Amino acid sequence: MIHKIRLILILTAFPALLWGQNTLSGKIADSKTNEAIIGAIIYIPDLKRSTSSDLEGNYQITNMPTGKYLVEVRMAGYAVKNTTTNVNGNTVLNVLLEEAHLETKEVIVTGVSHATELRQSPVAIKIVAKEFLTTNSGTNIIDMVAKNPGISQIQTGAGIGKPVIRGLGYNRVITMFDGIRQEGQQWGDEHGIELDEYAIDRIEILKGPASLMYGSDGIGGVLNFLPPKPMAEGKIRGNLYQNFQSNNNLYGISGDVEELNGYSLSVPRQHITHLRLSSNNNFILGRDRLSVILGYQQNLRREIADALNPNEVGLYLHLTTVTYDVKYLLHEMAGWNTSIGINGMYQINNINKGKEFLIPAYNLFDAGLFVYSAKNFGNLNISGGLRCDTRILNSKALYYNVIPDSSPVERFLPINRQFQNISGSAGATYIFSEMLMMKANISRGYRAPNIAELSANGVHEGTFRYETGNQSLKSETSLQEDLGLDFNSQHVSLGVSVFNNSIANYIYSKKVQNHLGKDSILNPSNPVSLYHFVQGNAQLYGGEIEMDIHPHPLDWLHIENAFSTVYGLNKSNTADSNKYLPNIPAAKYRGELKAQFNKGFSVFKNCYAKVEMESYFNQDKILREANTETVTPAYTLFNAGLGTDVVSKKGTTLCSFHITGNNITDVAYQNHLSRLKYAPENIATGKTGIYNMGRNFSLKLIIPIGIKI
């Protein structure tokens, strides 16, 4: 393992790019007045290079490699401009920006082979911009993301949220950060994602099988968390970020500051350490490009659950992961943009440092070879590809003494499994006009069963269940069809998307009953119910509708509406008690009324105020067999918020304030995907389960820090 760390560090020190001798330059100006625009950001996603326009609107990027690139130009108060240009020698690209009264929408997708305009991608993708993360609040990053249509979360209290995309979660959703897949025991109900939410600039959410580019575990989709874009040469910029929330006095600080106070957590609690090293390099090979992304992660998870021994570690998981992603991107040939690549990971999970055992120690290796290509035929854009995957999983047997000086008892059998599969995707986007376009895509995904599904044998603290694995489980395979329609006019934006996902060998856990028809209890001293992993064929279908009303000339008024729903059916068992899949989120509606004044008042710029309603429908389509799930009644939450930038006389932003209130009517509710919904009965109230968070106010203070060299 030491040699692997050295390799990553050596590659990290290697030059990020072997540059060419070309120059891209031009002028940024207002489309109506032709006046120069100062400070516009010119960004090339494929090269991760940027610069800004000077006092005369001019810009220049030197040492550019020869090739065809997507160029993004953005400036506050103007619509984002994207254009594709061929760079060869001294290339001139002048850009005219049009004034925009609404907030800027992210329009470039990077979670594919080449940087692509969102409107050209046939895959269902939702972009969560920095503006959304700033003006909304949540107890964690997934809590905020789950406000979007088609996105939900498995919750274990306020601090732990696991993403669910169109009804699929756990190891069916891959979490990425800056090109590296996040590995931190995703199989666990109360194992959240270990990411710094203050270091995220935007999020790209791929809805549906993404196995073509990412392999196993991408059968449900991908959350691609992206850091801020690189600054122009000669500039350093950062933010001091402070966030305080009234409920339980939650707080967060990000920046080069020292925390002045802290909290001492009682039992049960988790102590998690996550180390990440990454290397992201691009090599220019003539007109082609080689992308090499390597990552090293070490995840230490210690769970303390014994109140009588608060320093004794129960479950101790030590996960080490090395990831690799190598892509060869060919230059455009006959209009085709093609890439060939291989990616995967090597993983070691040790569990021999605690006194509790839920899964065995194991080694995992996987690799996937893929080819992806896209072409533009005028108004028609097509893309697709194929992939072949292999995953090898070896786990160790475990014997231990239940009673001192007694004979060892077998806890885990050894596992030696190999999984292979083929994934693919094909889709098209047809642009009828500037206002109307249609998308269609069909994709095949696969997921190998995870270590818990194969071999779990123990109590999973916090989930109130004893889990047992099933070594005979097969890989899941899915076939999903997507169809979308987008309409954008001066007054209304409308997006409609529907999907149908057929999954063979769908894996899920259900409660086991004894011969008396009651819950099976293996240990009377710790009376938690027994759950076992099984599989069958499944179908998930549904869709999302988003409508954004921005009536002209009332440019300050912004009305958002979003509705999403998903149905999950067990096609292998049509009995009333077993016809629905577990952990399917309830249908939801979100509406927002927002007033935004970009020009502001005096020293206050970009002022806004908003009110929001989140309505979750009754969820009675549940797995009733053995009382695995219970019905969740409908509920409605009301939120509100306001904020502003404070600027100097020269127009420099000094700081930003954002105040939000969630659940301001203090509704008592339980989310259907909350694991704490199944907590034991509270004797004092007579109610079963723990309710979600009540009224919560959040105050954010952001102070930008900039240095020009």
Q: Confidence class of residue 161 from pLDDT cuts 50, 70 and 90?
A: confident
Cβ atoms of 381 and 429 closer than 8 Å: yes
Structural contact between residues 315 and 299, judged by C-beta atoms closer than 8 angstroms: no
Can you spell out the DSSP letters for 417-480? EEEEEEEEEEEEEEE-SSSEEEEEEEEEEEE---HHHHH-EEEETTTTEEEE--TTPPPEEEEE
Model pLDDT for residues 88-134, shown as the tens digit of each residue: 889 999 999 987 755 455 566 766 667 777 777 888 888 888 889 88
pLDDT of 481 > 50? The answer is yes
Mean pLDDT value across residues 250-265: 57
Q: Which of 616, 641, 615 is nearest to 631 (CA)?
A: 616
* pLDDT for the residue 462: 61
CB atoms within 10 A of CB 692: 20
Measured in whole angstroms, the distance separating CA 359 from the mean position of its chain's CA atoms is: 26
What pLDDT is stored for residue 598 in this prediction?
Answer: 77
493, pLDDT greater than 50: yes
Q: What is the pLDDT of residue 263?
A: 55
Task: Answer positive or negative: Cα dihedral of 697, 590, 146, 305.
Answer: positive
- What's residue 259's pLDDT? 42
pTM: 0.87
Work out the average pLDDT over 652-666: 92
Q: Is 214 left (phi over 0), alpha (psi -120 to 50) or beta?
A: alpha
Summarize the confidence of residues 33-57 as an average pLDDT.
87
What confidence tier does 8 reach under pLDDT thresholds 50, 70, 90? very low
Fold exhibited by the domain 119-708: Maltoporin; Chain A (2.40.170)
Taking alpha carbons only, the member of 189, 205, 206, 185 closest to residue 141 is 205
Q: What is the pLDDT of residue 499?
A: 96
C-beta of residue 82 within 8 angstroms of C-beta of residue 98: no
pLDDT tens digits, one per residue of 314-366: 788 899 999 999 999 998 888 898 999 999 999 999 876 777 788 899 999 99
State the Cα–Cα distance between residues 445 and 667, nearest whole angstrom: 40
Q: What is the pLDDT of residues 552-594, one digit of tens each?
A: 788 789 899 999 999 999 999 878 888 999 999 999 999 999 9
Beta pairing, strands 49-52 & 81-87: unpaired
Statement: residue 60 has pLDDT above 60: yes
DSSP secondary structure, 8-62, as one string: HHHHHHS-SB---SEEEEEEEEETTT--B-TT-EEEETTTTEEEE--TTSEEEEE
CATH class of 2-100: mainly beta
Cα separation values, 589 from 24, 168, 496, 696, Å: 46, 19, 14, 21
**565 three-state secondary structure:** strand
First to last CA, the chain: 40
Decide if 75 contacts 28 (C-beta within 8 A): yes
3-state SS assignment for residue 534: strand
User: Is-contact 113 213, C-beta < 8 A?
Assistant: yes
Quick one: pLDDT at residue 685? 76
Listed by start position, the domains of the chain span 2-100, 119-708
Question: What is the reported pLDDT for 3?
Answer: 43
Residue pLDDT, tens place only, 365-394: 999 999 999 998 989 999 999 999 999 999
Spell out the alpha helix ranges (H) of 161-309. 211-214
- pLDDT tier at 437 (50, 70, 90 boundaries)? very high
What pLDDT was estimated at residue 628? Answer: 86
Higher pLDDT, 309 or 256: 309
Kindly state the average pLDDT of the residues 63-76: 85
Residue 145's H or E segment, with its range, is helix 141-145
What the block records as the tokens of 537 is 């064929």
Q: How confident is the model at residue 9 (pLDDT cuts 50, 70, 90)?
A: very low
Cβ partners under 8 Å of residue 705, min gap 6: 237, 238, 239, 240, 255
Whether 75 and 50 have beta carbons less than 8 Å apart is answered as: no
Determine the Cα angle at 509 with ends 542 and 519, to 5°: 125
Cα 622 to the center of its chain, rounded Å: 26
Provide the phi-psi class of 606: left if phi over 0, else alpha when psi is between -120 and 50, else beta. left
Q: Measuring CA to CA, how many Å separate 406 from each of 401, 402, 403, 409, 679? A: 6, 7, 5, 9, 35
Element (H, E) at 134: helix 130-135
Burial of 56 (0-12, 13-18, 19+ CB in 10 A): exposed
